Structure 1
Amino acid sequence: MMMKRAGSSSDKQLDAKTLRRLAQNREAARKSRLRKKAYVQQLESSRIKLSQLEQDLQRARSQGLFLGGCGGAAGNISSGAAIFDMEYARWLEDDHRHMSELRTGLQAHLSDGDLRVIVDGCISHYDEIFRLKGSAAKSDVFHLITGMWTTPAERCFLWMGGFRPSELIKMLITQLDPLTEQQLMGIYSLQQSSQQAEEALSQGLEQLQQSLVDTVAGGSIIDGMQQMAIALGKLANLEGFVRQADNLRQQTLHQLRRILTVRQAARCFLVIGEYYGRLRALSSLWGSRPRETMMNDDNSCQTTDLQMVQHAQNHFSNF
């Protein structure tokens, strides 16, 4: 009788353990199905994004946005440039998220500690674009330096494949009030040193361009291939100029972060993001103007040589 009771108790315990194990297995299987479903959804989302990016690139090529002077008749760009354009599109998506976090953080008056996390994320975000540009410069420096990856409005203000640090600082000074005297001195010093570095790089690029002109134009037709080989070697120096310019841009952003308080830095990066967002929006508006407006603009620009001379005389009569 005692043996029977012991066996019955053991069976109950075994049944309970089995039930728990079965329940755990079912839960593990359910979680596995959810993970698999999420993974499949992520793959599908990535596939859709990639397809959209490819369509955007094809549309941009057909509109002439990515046509460089050295492009083929079909307007094809190099594989390295196409990869950079897709990576830059993803970077812009992340940029929208960073700007939203900055805006929300400032409006919510987050603590300095919480705001610092967001600001540091923005710095890392900018470091990422410089890393991407560094890789792109190796594969297609022409695509990068001519700004074919940016919108037409952004391209108007381009300097060596990016923003001019001294001009960016000049814009920010009016947006970051109030600044202490020490901060102002630091920012003005940064602006001056940036301007000096810009001038040195610009002079170096001008010398390279002149050297290329002399090389391509010089020599006889017989020596043409040798001249082209020399010119190709000199063109390789373009990558160095773009890298130095990007390094100056990156250092400028990091220096601004050190000079400013956390809240000022958050405001600084928000201003930068919104500024370039407006330039991109301006390009979109310009490209989508009604045809009638374009025709009116063309008609308004038709002036005679006499009108241009008269306008110039009136303009300089004030001096």
Structure 2
Amino acid sequence: MFDVEYGRWLDDGGRRMAELHGGLHAHLPDSDLRAIVDDTLAHYDELFRVRAAAARSDVFHLITGMWATPAERCFLWMGGFRPSVLLKTVAPQLDPLTEQQVVGICSLQQSSQQAEEALSQGLEQLHQSLSDTVANGGSMIDDANIGSFMGYMALALGKLSNLEGFVIQADNLRQQTLHQMHRILTIRQTARCFLAIGEYHNRLRALSSLWASRPREILVADEGNCGELSIPTEPSESQFSAF
């Protein structure tokens, strides 16, 4: 169900990216461009609403990134983008920045990293606790210990339910980061920010396609024989992706 809604969200996002791109190149007044930017931000808010529902129904599907392309999955953090990395990715596209904006973005990046570390440590502790519970759960083939086994499995299920909370907290951090960027930047900078986000993930999706369709000769080439691969750039259906 999430995959269908996410695919629809990507299609709608592609149209919004085209509107942002056209608005910037047409030098629309800030008031007109603001309407497109606000609509794009609301579009992200809708995605986080859909993701929250998906986390409650099947958190494993969301956190493992089965809905994303292979290249995107390499960069997933708790089922989505890492806010601090996103800030590093888009920052060069936002120049010129005022001194106040630089301070604001640096502060946002620092607070994002701290929140990411806290969530990552919490998830690691959950993994360790869950592993210990499963390892000590008795034998499922020994009738004498079946009661103990079921008790441990019930305990493990209770711990697994905490995964939902971690994903939702991570999504809240992602959503807050986008809203904070919107507040720090000008309307035109925010438009460029959304375009940079879309383009970055669009390239990851293109990379996955190129990897899947690479020539068989590359698969058997010597490890030290690395040549450059000339890649023609073509626009894909959508510039939105793994959020």
TM-score by structure 2 length?
A: 0.87
Identify the residue that residue 87 of structure 1 maps to in structure 2. Answer: 5
CA distances 1:183-210 after superposition (whole Å, capped 9, x unpaired): 0001100101111100110000001000
Show the 5 A alignment for 1:217-296: 217-221=135-139, 222=145, 223-296=148-221
Equivalent position SS for 2:210: helix
CA distances 1:201-226 after superposition (whole Å, capped 9, x unpaired): 00000010000011011143211111
State the Cα distance separating 1:293 from its structure 2 match: 2.2
Aligned residue pairs, count: 218
Contact 2:55/2:164 (8 A) holds in 1: yes
Show the 5 A alignment for 1:62-211: 83-211=1-129
Q: 1 CA distance for matches of 2:137 and 2:165?
A: 27
Larger radius of gyration: 1
Amino acid corresponding to residue 83 of structure 2 in structure 1: P
**Which protein has the bigger helix share?**
1
Amino acid corresponding to residue 184 of structure 2 in structure 1: I
Identify the residue that residue 238 of structure 2 maps to in structure 1. Answer: none
State the Cα distance separating 1:290 from its structure 2 match: 1.9
State the Cα distance separating 1:301 from its structure 2 match: 7.2
Q: 1 CA distance for matches of 2:82 and 2:137?
A: 37
Amino acid corresponding to residue 187 of structure 2 in structure 1: V
Show the 5 A alignment for 1:296-311: 296=221, 299-300=222-223
TM-score by structure 1 length?
A: 0.67
Deviates more, 1:275-284 or 1:235-244: 275-284
Q: 2 CA distance for matches of 1:198 and 1:85?
A: 26
Provide closer, same or farther for how the CA distance between residues 231 and 105 of structure 1 changes in structure 2, counting only shifts above 3 A: same
Which structure 1 segments of 5+ residues have no match? 1-82, 303-319
Q: Which structure would you say has the larger RCO, counting Cα contacts within 8 Å and 6 or more residues apart?
A: 2
Q: 1 CA distance for matches of 2:138 and 2:203?
A: 50
Q: 1 CA distance for matches of 2:210 and 2:71?
A: 10
Q: 4+ runs of 1 displaced by more than 3 Å?
A: none
Q: 2 CA distance for matches of 1:235 and 1:91?
A: 28
Q: 1 CA distance for matches of 2:51 and 2:39?
A: 19
Equivalent position SS for 2:97: coil
Identity over aligned pairs, percent? 71
Contact 2:137/2:153 (8 A) holds in 1: no
